[in-house]
Amino acid sequence: MKNNFNSIVFAIAIIIASLVLGNAFINRNKSEGTISVTGLGKTDFTSDLIVWKGKFTKENMDLKQAYSDLETDKKIITEYLASKGFDSKIIVFSAVKTDRNTKRNYSNDGKYLGEEFIGYTLGQTVQIDSKDVEKVEKISREITELLNKGVQFYSEPPRYYYTKLADLKIEMISRATENARLRAEKIAENSGAKLDELTVARMGIFQITGQNSNENYSWGGAFNTSSKEKTASITMKLTYKVR
């Protein structure tokens, strides 16, 4: 009788152990459901800072005279900009760049005869950084009037920036995150599930492109400076557990 009882207890123990181990095996191989979505944050904005630069040069065989001529041009440019309402504090001149120019001489039969000095070229740049975007845009177009004053001036296209870029980026991240969550909720709803905890949040590249342009997005992030009207965008990839 005792042996039968022991056999029954042993058999029950084996069954229970089998059930426990089997259930553990099933749970071990059961993967938790997840939803991964990518959200987009995007907005248009207008640049509030303009940077404009121009260059002027003088050439002369005599270095001292070339420098004197360049100083005369610098004075003319300063007076011209002042007449257009620009404060001298925002007019920044670079250091003078000096180039010694030579040319190669060859004989009639093509033999190299050496270098010949043909004079100096002195150059200097002037730059204006201002939040008065329209005013600087205007001067960048009108600056060629200096040619009538004998100044060889070369104007570069203005560059446009935004001083509140850090705040804009935070706003874009918020929009992209909200957009991603709405997408995840819709997917979960359509599949009869509910969102659980957020497990992964990965930010994409912050991009700034010109409005109405055909600029391509870059893996390293586009940063347009040639357009006053711009579009900022960023992506957020979120992964949620579902239940």
Q: How does pLDDT run across 10-34, given as a tens digit for each residue?
A: 444 444 444 433 333 333 344 468 9
> Do 152 and 59 reside in the same domain of the chain?
yes
CA-to-CA dists, residue 184 to 43, 191, 236, 239, 243, angstroms = 22, 11, 12, 8, 13
- Structural domain for 84, as ranges: 50-160
Q: What is the mean pLDDT of residues 99-103?
A: 95
CATH number at residue 95: 3.30.70.2970
Please state, in angstroms and rounded to a whole number, the distance separating the CA atoms of residues 57 and 4: 113
- What is the DSSP code (8-state) at residue 115? E
Q: What is the pLDDT of residues 41-68, one digit of tens each?
A: 999 999 999 999 999 999 999 999 999 9
**Pair (156, 93) in one structural domain:** yes
Percentage of the chain exceeding pLDDT 90: 73
Domain boundary among 137, 160, 183: 160
Q: Residue 11: which residues within 8 A CB-CB, separation 6 or more?
A: none
pLDDT of residue 32: 62
The domain that holds 168 is classified in CATH as 3.30.110.170
Q: What is the DSSP string of 32-99?
A: PPEEEEEEEEEEEEE--EEEEEEEEEEEESSHHHHHHHHHHHHHHHHHHHHHTT--GGGEEEPPPEEE
Same domain flag for 20 and 107: no
Domain boundary among 119, 140, 160: 160
Using the structure block, give the residue that is written with the tokens 């071990």. Answer: 28
